[in-house]
Amino acid sequence: MEMRSFFGKDSDSNYLISDVKIDPSRSPFIEERLEILYEENDLDVLKDRLKHFNVGENTYKVISLNKMVINTTNKIDHAERRKIEREIGLSINGEPDLDNPEIILGIITLDGRWYFGNYTKSEPIWLKHKQKPHNYSTALSTRVARAITNIAVPHIENVRAIDPCCGIGTVIIEGLSMGIDIEGRDINYHVCQGSRSNITYFGLEGKITLGPISEVTEHYDVAIVDLPYNLFTHASREEQSEILKHARRISDKIIIATIDTIDDLIEEAGFEIVDRCIAKKQSFLRQIILCK
């Protein structure tokens, strides 16, 4: 579902080729990215073309990405990968540095075609956010919270978001850490205090307001709503309906996390369901529903 939001399509394989450029560290499900600069059917032809590729004054290293089976392409063994890396590296104008390179370049073969370009490895930033001062057992996991935030805001430019039932701030922290313009609110004073403390703990700056969604007067591009159901704040079906109706009033798009089946409430609020999936945390099953 996150992949569809980022790229407008998904893949049954363990890779995807797209014209859309996404920082792999944004997603907990993306391991690495190769920004393709050259591609050829023949490796020798590619090496010949790379004689004209110059990294300037930057030091570099080349890594082969065929360290596992990728769709129908078999893994290349370690010795052969090192040989390919060495041959590609020697074809490039520049100073190699295998220990502390300023640029990492990647080479990969897929279905008989070779691809070369700038390599970026994903950094699991969301893992660091698991250890925060205030936590609730029923809160979204940082991994799911990050994915939901990406589904809501796949491209951050000129997008304003709100989490009107932000709880301990899990979604807010993920959003702020990715540079998303997002703010939160909650009806529980102590929860708001905990959320603010968590945000500050990670060196982030964000706005958390005490109060219900009914008091929101501004408009947002998207709302992220994890419908309350825990020991601190439990919403009845009628209250869930009111939250959704106000979300419709204040936002153009909404992504909902819910343990209940609420399709009828979503439709009554004036939303159309466009995508959905299931997220599991221990014994909790949440429906993740994207609506417009």
Prediction pTM value: 0.93
pLDDT for position 136:
83
- Summarize the chain as % helix, strand, coil (round to 5): 30, 30, 40
pLDDT, tens digit, 9 for 90 and up, residues 3-26: 999 999 999 999 999 999 999 999
Would you list the domain boundaries of the chain? 32-121, 125-291
CB-CB neighbours of 89 under 10 Å: 18
CATH code given to domain 125-291: 3.40.50.150
Report residues of the chain scoring pLDDT below 50: 231
Altogether, the residues listed in the chain come to a count of 292
pLDDT at 231: 44
The first and second tokens of residue 262, run together, are: 């609420």
Q: Output Rg (C-alpha) for the chain, integer angstroms.
A: 23
C-beta neighbour count of 1 within 10 angstroms: 19
Q: Note the Cα 83 to chain centre separation in Å.
A: 34
Supply the pLDDT for residue 112: 95
**Encoded tokens for 168:** 């301990």
Name which of 74, 63, 77, 65 is nearest 112 in CA terms: 74
Query: What one-letter code names the amino acid at 39?
Result: E
Task: Just give the CATH number of 32-121.
Answer: 3.30.2130.30
**What's the rounded Cα separation, in Å, for the pair 186 and 198?**
14
Q: Which residue has the tokens 């991994």?
A: 143
Phi, psi of 157 (to 5 degrees): -65, 125
Sorted by sequence, the CB contacts under 8 Å of residue 110 that are 6+ apart come out as 15, 70, 71, 73
CB atoms within 10 A of CB 57: 8
